[in-house]
Structure formats: C-alpha cells, structure tokens
Amino acid sequence: MLSDPFSHLPTTACRTIDMQKGDVLFRQNQTTSGLYRVVFGSVTLQRSGLGGDTLTLHRAVSGGLFAEASVFSATYHCDAICTEAGSVIKIEKADVVATMQSNLAFSEGFTRLLAVQVQQYRAHIELLAIPSAKERILAAVHAGYFDATVTELATRINLSHEACYRALRGLCDDGRMIRVGRGKYTLS
Amino acid sequence: MLSDPFSHLPTTACRTIDMQKGDVLFRQNQTTSGLYRVVFGSVTLQRSGLGGDTLTLHRAVSGGLFAEASVFSATYHCDAICTEAGSVIKIEKADVVATMQSNLAFSEGFTRLLAVQVQQYRAHIELLAIPSAKERILAAVHAGYFDATVTELATRINLSHEACYRALRGLCDDGRMIRVGRGKYTLS
DNA sequence: GATCTTTTATGATCTGGATCACATGCTTTC
DNA sequence: GAAAGCATGTGATCCAGATCATAAAAGATC
C-alpha cells in the first residue's frame, strides 16, 4: 500500500548527489531533468519575487520528495536550495516517464504521491487563510510545519519573523505553547 | 497529448447530474464516491472554518474537473456546492481505480492532471504571499481568477470584499485597470 | 580567537486592510 | 409588483501585523 513506488525504477535511474548548505540543485525556468528524494539534510523550494523577498513553497527533509510535478513540466517552477548539508537522490525524468508507461504499480504509486501533494497544498492554502497570527502559527505547529527555525516558519506562513516571535510569545503567555529553549517551542 | 484521459473509462462509469444553485454535491468528511466534471454551470469547493467564515479552495467551471484527489482519499476534504445551475458528470471512484490498473494511457493522463493541479496550487500559494492588495488582485486577474463576482474573487485571495472593491478602484485610478461596468473590470 | 553571518528577541511607530455601518441596484421568488 | 436576498459600492474607525531599529547569542569562517 504505502510501499515506495520508486523501487520499480531501474537502478540506473537514480544518482546520489552530496550537497552543502547553499548549494543550488536547480533554478526556476531551468529545463527539468528529474525529481529528487532527500536522503538526509534538507532542501527548500523557493521563489524569489520581483523584490528581494523570497517565498518558501516547500521544505523537504529526510525521505521527502520534491519536484515530482517536474516530470510533466518543461521547466522548474522554483529554486531548490540546500538548507542543511546532506545528500539527495536524483531520479531521471526520462526513466520516470518510461517506467510509468511500462509498470502499472509504479504508475499508481506515483499518481498517489501527486494526489497527496494536492491535498497538502489545499491544507496549506486553508492555513494561509487563518487571519490571526497566533491561530495561524498554532495550526502550522499542529500540521508539523515548525521543524526548522522560526524565521523559516515565518516565511512559510506569510508572516514577518518579528510577528512570528511575538505571536509565539503570546501563545506561551496564553499557556497554549511552551518555550523549551532558545528558538524552541512545543505545544502544551 | 492533451486528449481527455476519461475517454478511456467504461461508459457505465459516468453519470450526468443536473444541479441547481445551492445544491450540495458532497460535504467535507463524507466518504468519497467519485470525482466530477462540470458540463455547464459552476461549482465551488469550500471549507467552512470553525466560525461562519467560508474559504473558497477552488472554483470549477465548464470543462473543469474537481475532487480528482478523492480517488486516493477515504473522505472528501471540502464541500462542493453549486454556484450556477447546470450539470456535472460524476465519475465513479471504483471505475477510476480499476481503469488506472488496466489502462496505461488513462493512468498517465490522470497523473498529468494531478501534476497540473500541483503546479496551480503552488502558483496560488505564491499569489497569496503578495502583500499589497492591489498587486495581489492584479496578479489574480492576470492568472484568470476573476471570472465571477468581486466577492468571490475576494474570498479566493484572502481579502475582505471591501478591500477588494477599494483596491480595484485604486487600480482604475492608477490606470492599470478599467471599470467596464458594474462589477466588471479589465486590464488596461 | 577574531570576524562575519544568522537567528533570536524585543521595542517603537505606522499603515493597510479588517471591521462596522449604510445605501443602492439587480435578481429571484412568491 | 412587493419583498427578500445578494452583489456592488463607499465612508469611518481601529488594530494587527509590517517595518524600522537595536542588541545579544550562537554558529560559521578565516
């Protein structure tokens, strides 16, 4: 049921790539060559607006996939940048396309992956519609978004980092969260 | 390439349903039974928060699909409500699953559909990150979101309808948009 | 270990959008 | 055609979060 669909790919389809913090795996508008799985470390998918402001679309950690939709797109739609050193497995687009056409189990597994993504994005859009900063943060923490820095969380949920720190403190004052250390908070 | 993957389904998989404005096609948390295509009229997918506020996740018009991801989910994640009378074709989940396992062309077409959705949602999240109401509306108009009422647009892009009207007027004052009638605006 | 960068954190100020209030016109319905 | 309901506006007020400024601590770099 939840077995890894990528086990159906030929071994030549995958290539391990080591990465250092700040490394760019691909950039917006580049021709797509494949999708990726994080082995360890972390990668953020981001787009830079016309100003210098960056928007985090997704953050992939160990075991996570990213750029799945690139298989059906000519160019990447965002930048992929390493935020914690580690390694990723690159899966060649051509192999994915070929295997999809020859292997039903792979095809179904890959489709399921995309369906899950669709639901995650819908949930994210719903989260972004929460007007209050405190409630939005609480929802984000419940959804497991707060797995890195406060600053990173802030960019993901459309808040300034100042507002994010303040709201976190407010939640602690309310007794709804607990500060367990510098930059570390948990649900109470 | 862009041919309709659903042409591969058995004829018994589809059923036409007429709908009146306000009709509920399904509700959040109901067991999923299939996905839908709009023949004519329109349907909005929305979630109601704990308060009375509703959030529009998607709006499907003629030719549009909705609830695709339901094929991989046990329950619907939002309400589907008719906003303009018309008809929809309901496609049975069981038939989709069966056809996916027996027909590669269908499977690939369906997967591509989901991939497109993923990219659309990503673009939407990016749009929601635009801080200024005027710029956000402009981006939404460019993306073709403004196909119904101003009120509907407002809920889709996380603005109050008042702010939306005011920003539209501001854009007209700037000469970046033109008011062509009551509730009708176009890019200049 | 000195320097640089990033994250954490808080305070002060300002503003854009939410909210409240209200009027009008267009549809729909009975 | 009267009444109800909804979309379209606009004006007044208020406040939450953006922005600017500053500082300390941690981590990276040399």
Lowest mean pLDDT among A3-12, A85-94, A98-107: A3-12
Q: A106 near A100, Cβ under 8 Å?
A: yes
Q: B9 near B99, Cβ under 8 Å?
A: yes
CA dist B3 and B117 (Å) reads 17
Nearest Cα neighbor of B14 from B95, B133, B78 is: B95
In this complex, do A117 and B112 lie within 8 Å of one another by their Cβ atoms?
Answer: no
∠ CA(B37), CA(B23), CA(B82), 5° rounding? Answer: 45
Q: Which residue is nearest to nucleotide D6 (CA to C1')?
A: B151
CA dist B165 and B162 (Å) reads 5
- Closest residue, chain A, to B1 (C-alpha): A72
DSSP for B63-125, written as a single string: T-EE-GGGGG-SB-SSEEEEEEEEEEEEEEHHHHHHHHHH-HHHHHHHHHHHHHHHHHHHHHH
User: What are chain A's domains?
Assistant: 5-127 (2.60.120.10), 132-187 (1.10.10.10)
Length of chain B in residues, anyone?
A: 188
Q: Is the pLDDT of residue A104 over 90?
A: no
Mean pLDDT (chain B) is 90
The model's confidence at residue A26, banded by pLDDT at 50, 70 and 90, is very high
Widest pairwise Cα distance in chain B: 57
Q: Which residue has the tokens 């996740």?
A: B57
Closest CB to A107 among B77, B111, B115? B111
**CB-based contact (8 Å) between A142 and chain B?**
no
The model's confidence at residue A2, banded by pLDDT at 50, 70 and 90, is low
Distance in angstroms between the alpha carbons of the first and the last residue of chain A: 34
Chain segment B123-171, per-residue pLDDT in tens: 999 999 999 999 999 999 999 999 999 999 999 999 999 999 999 999 9
Q: What is the CA radius of gyration of chain A?
A: 18
* CB distance under 7 Å to strand D: residues: A 21, 131-134, 136, 158-160, 162-163, 167, 182; B 131, 149-152, 161-162, 165-166, 169, 179, 182-184
Nearest Cα neighbor of A27 from A75, A85, A60 is: A75
- Residue B133 CA and nucleotide C21 C1' are separated, in Å, by 22
